[in-house]
Structure 1
């Protein structure tokens, strides 16, 4: 049974990976209805059971049990162009005819979700769900010239949540949840032009550009909690606030490989995932029209570096500083009940980078703007379908990346965009 559960989680996680759709490798795609309004008002809107993933206090607004399941397909496009540079004239000459270009760094992926809510009575509700709060997959060619900087980076995380909500008074509700985060991580780097430089120094062929120089991988669990409040001024106006705790995942790879050290041994790495909070508003100004807004802050300052050490003597198997900063996301959206069966949505959002001035090829983060459209159609009074589309435009950036003990740096230019397509099915019992 344990192997079956791990296989099921690994299958879902294999489908979930992102790149340009949220700051660093945080994913926003918790629902299709939210996608249609650029996730504006997430902590205050109770469209469907996906509130479990954002603000569990909203579960008290549901009168009947409800389920929601579906996902968002992310079609990302990230292109990098790079030029080598070095303080060593001989290395500069050797690399003068080479470049570090790579198109389609981030592959397309599907981000799944599933939720349920069960009201116990007028004051107390419980719920649970599955979503993907973090994910990143960047793939460079096996013989990529700057393989020591690019290579393969794969982090997927599936969150299993169980929550409860209690109506404290007529207008105020509180929710609390626990989160079990199952993560799968793999980091691999290759020789690239280091092979050429080594061959140049040795005067003969001694290594290949696609040879792996560093590899770390493991699957582990991490645990955290989340909480939320919602205050209803009346049926048309609500304010909500939600918080998700930071989570640290401890990886232990018994076959961590470092070619420079000539070692394959047990190494450990702590991945510090950030906590985040959000405040949102929902206001229905007419019988058909509502507007909603959100401000979200993610404490990426916790993510300072990727550092793995061998257990036996503490030697570094891997070290890469990241220098992340806390980042903000603001969103504004509107909803319109066109008919009794059809609700239309649109939204715009601005999501700032967490990378500050220290960008990297393996985590192609940049400021991005969301433009979203969506709709919900009630097939029956109990069954509804959400569809949505969003276009994300990333800011063009230039940056220089280098690492210790590598005799060159790369001047990069990055261009990114993405198209997101969402579909969810909701059913109330």
Structure 2
């Protein structure tokens, strides 16, 4: 599992609030980022060639057909850590007191495990445990955006048994049922001030739950000619349904208490879809040393942005759907591998991801934006059948403006994330038997 779940960016992610009544808490929110990196050697390629390059069993995550090209039995164990530089700066239009929240992403460790086994000349099986969806944010409790979010996390860990078959020397197909264990948590402050006339300490709302969802990874690889391999992979959506009783504490505003008492909330249901994706990749062997790689990718974030919410009460059943105005994204990347010697291979790549939100729709629970990836890594063959690898990726988000307004009070949280970035460092080992 790569608990970098997030990536997205990850993210971040999803505060939920109870009601759409006269509470000062925000609407139910959701978000995230795919993380292409799971500690594997291809981390150093910025996702270039991910669906066409079969180097080790981690390929089953990006294209399950790839394990049909791997001889014998192979095991890849990996670990990585994400360091963040995501800090909020207030603008002159900000109407909330409090500090700027600090660095919302300090670090997030993760791990992954992949196994493949060649059954015969045509077929292979494999298994992967990894996380490539989600991230987490943690602001200071008394920051200026505390009524929107203080902590937010959505994490998905995937378990994927895989089968691949070579129909010919050129064509391989693979399928992998994807079982995802999802975890969601959100925490935010509730404004106890009475109509802005009486200043009282904040209350608190916390919501957390886990759920299990199912999807499928499909892929094919085709050897176009001795130097060129094409790959196509599709990942279906995974639906997660979180259901829990929100925990609300320290509420001493009589208006909020009256609303809670009338509604007598028992359960809040929060549904979200991990987006489906489609990836097309090309790997071209220029010569004995150089391999050139590229990828194009589509992600269905528009459906993830429609969040279904139900609040079951003793007196009535209240439901609402909130559209976060998410839109589909695309990814493009190019990279190369250079076989420096028999033992040492160098990888590098550059990638671009479009933003799932327009600037006007960005929120502090999930400050998504367009992202550039700059990656590099090395693989070293220690001995026959045993490799070590390390990689580094810079995910550059740049400057992201935020203008978020409370529906009831009309107060605005205004500011920006300047020079936002993620640093992903990973490494691992591959054994071949």
Asked whether the equivalents of residues 282 and 290 of structure 1 are also in contact (C-alpha less than 8 Å), the reply is yes
Q: Which residue of 1 aligns with 2:390?
A: 387
1:240 partner SS: strand
Matched, 1:208 2:201: yes
Q: Which residue of 2 aligns with 1:123?
A: 122
Q: Which residue of 2 aligns with 1:271?
A: 272
Distance of 1:274 and 1:142 partners within structure 2: 31
Of 346-355 and 228-237, deviating more is: 228-237
C-alpha distance 13-33 of structure 1, shift in aligned 2 (>3 A): closer
Q: Which residue of 2 aligns with 1:287?
A: 288
Show the 5 A alignment for 1:149-160: 149-160=148-159
Q: 1:419 aligns with which of 396, 420, 423?
A: 423
Unaligned runs of 5+ in 1: 1-11, 87-91
Distance of 1:26 and 1:257 partners within structure 2: 31
Asked whether the equivalents of residues 2 and 130 of structure 2 are also in contact (C-alpha less than 8 Å), the reply is no
Asked whether the equivalents of residues 113 and 129 of structure 1 are also in contact (C-alpha less than 8 Å), the reply is yes
C-alpha distance 319-404 of structure 1, shift in aligned 2 (>3 A): farther
Q: Which residue of 1 aligns with 2:64?
A: 56
CA RMSD of aligned residues (A): 2.3
**How many Å apart are 1:269 and its aligned residue?**
1.3
C-alpha distance 419-21 of structure 1, shift in aligned 2 (>3 A): farther
**How many Å apart are 1:24 and its aligned residue?**
3.5
Distance of 1:153 and 1:279 partners within structure 2: 32
Q: Which residue of 2 aligns with 1:315?
A: 318
Asked whether the equivalents of residues 44 and 393 of structure 2 are also in contact (C-alpha less than 8 Å), the reply is yes
Q: Which residue of 2 aligns with 1:141?
A: 140
Q: Which residue of 2 aligns with 1:361?
A: 364
C-alpha distance 239-139 of structure 1, shift in aligned 2 (>3 A): same
Provide TM-score, normalisation by structure 1. 0.87
Provide TM-score, normalisation by structure 2. 0.86
Show the 5 A alignment for 1:147-296: 147-191=146-190, 194-195=191-192, 197-198=193-194, 200-202=196-198, 205=199, 207-209=200-202, 211-212=203-204, 214-255=205-246, 257=248, 260=256, 261-262=259-260, 263-296=264-297
Asked whether the equivalents of residues 373 and 390 of structure 1 are also in contact (C-alpha less than 8 Å), the reply is yes
Q: Which residue of 1 aligns with 2:402?
A: 399
Deviations 1:80-108 (A, max 9, x none): 1124759xxxxx6xx5xx36622211231
2:66 partner SS: helix
**How many Å apart are 1:273 and its aligned residue?**
1.6
Unaligned runs of 5+ in 2: 12-30
Of 415-424 and 305-314, deviating more is: 305-314
Distance of 2:382 and 2:3 partners within structure 1: 32
Asked whether the equivalents of residues 138 and 152 of structure 1 are also in contact (C-alpha less than 8 Å), the reply is yes
Distance of 2:182 and 2:306 partners within structure 1: 18
Distance of 1:181 and 1:40 partners within structure 2: 25
Distance of 1:21 and 1:273 partners within structure 2: 12
- The number of aligned residues is 400
Asked whether the equivalents of residues 17 and 109 of structure 1 are also in contact (C-alpha less than 8 Å), the reply is no
Asked whether the equivalents of residues 99 and 142 of structure 2 are also in contact (C-alpha less than 8 Å), the reply is no
